[in-house]
Structure 1
Amino acid sequence: MTRAEARARLDALWRRGTAFLGSEVAIMGGAMSWVSERNLVSAISNAGGFGVIACGSMTPRQLDDEIAATRALTAKPFGVNLITMHPELDELIGVCLAHGVSHIVLAGGLPPGGAIRRVKDGGAKLICFTPALSLGRKLVRSGADALVIEGSEAGGHIGPVSLTVLAQEVLPHLTEVPVFVAGGIGRGEAILSFLEMGAAGVQLGTRFVCATESIAHPRLKQAYIRASARDALPTVQLDPRFPVIPVRALVNQGTERFMAHQAEVVRRYNAGELTREEAQLAIEHFWAGALRRAVIEGDVENGSLMAGQSVGLVTREQPTAEIIAELVDQALAALMARSSAAATAAAD
């Protein structure tokens, strides 16, 4: 198999994804708060992938400015990720539609029916996350045009199931819409394997944090480059009475202090000093602003260094276009090596 033949095969494997996204390669950028902004998003789209703005806690005015600034940097398609629990979700959808954003991602919980209708009626394509096959089918019935399944290997807020299991559960059985896979993906060979299982494409976040165009603080990038996969661990819940949504991040002093903070809050609750609601709030507020401290201010000791387990595959700062080209080259090399091995076996 020649390189051109391998590329034709790869393009065929992810054609459903590229057709849906309107991109050259079916590689979506994960929406990472403070990181997935105009510079990185436009760089991913300009390199042939599909960048996604992380709206996070932005106001409608801030999102309006961010979309306009991104559009000034790229003529290629890109999407916007909105958190379903945002108090101004309807207004944020309106901003996206006013700008003609082609793809809207609703994340962070089950999308309200009204939000789904607003996106669909506005002419945008709707992408949703699903942690299980049953919910994925429900989302498709509700109007989702594509789904993302994200394994526990991912960075940030995670579910309990690995991508290798989710892919086996979902990909063979949910074929009505394109399904993109995410979580722990850092090389082209892995992308190829999921495409061959039926994925329409992939979503990568951690690999892009150390892109040259990423505005992440140099100290954060160095922390990523030094880290191994085992350094990216989920936060631990100390007491089942006070749930902690798992967040995968690099372990640092802040992580250790969070454990001590939980223990102190539980002690105060048991002593009658705090109500259950006050105790839960005290735990949830510990990390308030911690992601910004790490990404923007470079406080890698006390901030939240959200990272997927693929952080161990991040070895240097690279231009976004180089990262995407490297992933494609790895997938092509795997296809050509397989073809060569098959030819050798046939000759024997």
Structure 2
Amino acid sequence: MAAYSKSHALMRRGADFLGSEHAILCGAMSWVSERNLVSAISNAGGFGVIACGAMNPELLDKEIAATKALTDRPFGVNLITMHPQLTDLIAVCARHDVTHVVLAGGIPPKGSVEAIKAFGGKVIVFAPTLALAKKLLRSGGDALVIEGMEAGGHIGPVSTSVLAQEFLPALAEDHLVFVAGGIGRGEAIAGYLEMGAVGVQLGTRFACATESIAHPAFKKAFFRASARDAVASVQVDARLPVIPVRALRNKGTEVFTAKQREVAGMLDGEALEMAEAQLQIEHYWAGALRRAVIDGDVENGSLMAGQSVGMVTQEEPVQAIMDGLMAQCEAALQRR
């Protein structure tokens, strides 16, 4: 602990909240943030988070149990607020005494925060605007993640640095705020800690760790990529409000644009209802991501990655990544 004295002093509130040595969360990456990577991150002193994604309650139950078999340290579960079985998934978390639940993908539906609190779980929320952040924190959110558009996967329109300047002065004194999006080195962590963040969240940096089950071809695509290769998807029809997704440019990004046009055409012909059309778009992403991560189809699958991907140049054990981030953070703070 003494080796990172300044870092831990600034991270103390976040680390105490998470129950971890370092206040470094791993972003929940579907198909990637499973038992192996999650347990490795928690064992390395960070805080791993299972990506529930489209899992049903039975699969989540097995994943939590398997993760517990690999670590005795705290970890969390990320649940998508629009999941049709959200109530049942929260019940699974309750049975396993999950300490922290991350609610992502939209405003938590009525009763969800209360259900998590009822079994003693801590609630971590996301908010794209300061007004919504204040509302969610008043409504029971225990901590907030602000995530900039540099992140991988589903993103908002504002950069991490701007969000940090807007949110931290208003919230950091009274609330626990973690910063995410485009963070790849410890010097950036140091900067956000000095601004008032209690910790950070990184995803892309851990995606190609030795313990990650991602296909070797998926990892090689990351190693070859630069920041400018991680591009945001384009919405082609206003009737299909698609949350932009940042991923490495490949044939799959072109296919997604064509998929939107196809679904929009079916809407024109009244062959689809709006809800079903939007669901088709979401199902596309789920399948495309699996093709890349698990099957290694880096041409047609979705290579979701943040702009920090250019800093991912080789496969490393999670412990080495964590130690490197903390050493960089501490060195930056010691130079101040």
TM-score normalised per structure 1: 0.91
The alpha carbon displacement at 1:8 in A equals 1.6
Deviation at 1:83, TM superposition (A): 0.9
In the other structure, the counterpart of 1:65 is 62
| Structure 1, unpaired ranges of 5+ | 339-348
Aligned to 1:132: 129
Shift of 1:239: 2.7
The share of aligned pairs that are identical, in percent, is 68
Cα deviation for residue 61 of structure 1 reads 1.1
Q: Does 1:251 align with 2:249?
A: yes
RMSD value over aligned CA atoms? 1.8
Distance 1:142 1:86 in 2: 20
1:10 Cα shift? 1.2
Provide the rounded CA distance (Å) in 1 between the counterparts of 2:12 and 2:91. 30
- Deviation by residue 1:282-339 (Cα, 9 ceiling, x = unmatched): 655543411111100000000011000010110100000000000011112212333x
Displacement of 1:100: 1.1
Does the aligned pair in 2 maintain the 1:146–1:178 contact within 8 Å? yes
Asked whether 1:80 is paired with 2:88, we answer no
Unpaired runs of 5+ residues, structure 2, are none
Corresponding letter in the other structure for 2:28 = A
Deviations 1:185-229 (A, max 9, x none): 000000000000000100000000110000000000000011000
Matches of 1:180 and 1:318 in 2, distance apart? Answer: 25
- Cα distance, 1:264–1:191 mapped onto 2, change above 3 Å: same
**Conserved? CA contact 1:113–1:142, under 8 Å:** no
Does the CA-based 8 Å contact 2:6-2:334 persist in structure 1?
A: no
State the Cα distance separating 1:95 from its structure 2 match.
1.0
Which residue does the alignment assign to 2:8? 11
For each residue in 1:152-180, what CA deviation from the matched residue of structure 2 results, as whole angstroms up to 9, or x when unmatched? 11100011111111111101101322100
1:178 to 173, 176, 179: 176
Extract structure 1 runs of 4+ deviating beyond 6 A.
Answer: none
Where does residue 345 of structure 1 map in the other structure? Answer: none
TM-score, length basis structure 2: 0.94
Residue matched to 2:97: 100
Alpha-carbon spacing, 1:266–1:58, altered in 2? closer, same or farther (3 Å): closer
What is the match of residue 309 of structure 1?
307
Larger radius of gyration: 1
Whether 2:138 is the aligned partner of 1:141: answer: yes
Contact 1:206 1:310 in 2 (8 A): yes
**Residue pair 1:29, 1:52 contacting (<8 A) in 2 also:** yes
Counterparts of 1:182-261 in structure 2, within 5 Å, are 182-261=180-259
SS at match of 1:8: helix
CA distance in 2, matches of 1:279, 1:36: 28
Per-residue Cα deviation, 1:135-157 (whole angstroms, up to 9, x for no partner) = 11101110111010011111000
Separation of aligned partners in 2, 1:60 and 1:264? 32
Match of 2:19 in 1: 22
Q: Distance in 2 between matches of 1:9 and 1:281?
A: 47
Amino acid at match of 1:108: G
Task: Work out the CA distance in 2 between the residues paired with 1:93 and 1:333.
Answer: 40
Q: 1:16-53 CA distances to partner (integer Å, 9 max, x unpaired)? A: 11010011111001001110000000000000000000
Q: Distance in 2 between matches of 1:264 and 1:85?
A: 24
